[in-house]
Amino acid sequence: MQERLDFHSASPGGFKAMPGLQQHAGDCGLEQSLMELVKMRASQTNGCAYGLDMHGKDARKHFSEKELVDLAMCIIAINGCNRLAIPFRSPVGDHQPAGKKEST
């Protein structure tokens, strides 16, 4: 695939600012495995094959084969619930989380 635009060269100042944000995200205290899953999901949502390839490979380092299958089953379960709730217009706003975590 041919690159359409070299965004590194087009806006070096903007691209130079990105590592600071990435550093903050890396230092925020979230588990690295969770961060990789979030990055992978964001790449899926954004349709970014480059990011999906990179973050998918990085995420696999954090999980066993069983955990990867269990994560896939979790996705299948929520997709099934969503596919029922959307067309049948389940009421929104009634859910109450059990045991909410205290923020520090």
pLDDT band at 17 (very low <50, low <70, confident <90, very high): confident
pLDDT at 1 over 80: no
Percent over 70 (pLDDT), the chain: 95
Kindly report the average pLDDT of the chain as a whole number. Answer: 88
Measured CA to CA, the distance from residue 11 to residue 85 in angstroms comes to 44
- How much is the pLDDT for 12? 86
Predicted TM-score (pTM) of the model is 0.67
Which pLDDT tens digit goes with each residue over 18-35?
889 889 988 999 999 999
**DSSP string across 25-83:** HHHSS--HHHHHHHHHHHHHHTT-HHHHHHHHHHHHTTS-HHHHHHHHHHHHHHHHHHH
- How much is the pLDDT for 104? 58
pLDDT band at 103 (very low <50, low <70, confident <90, very high): low
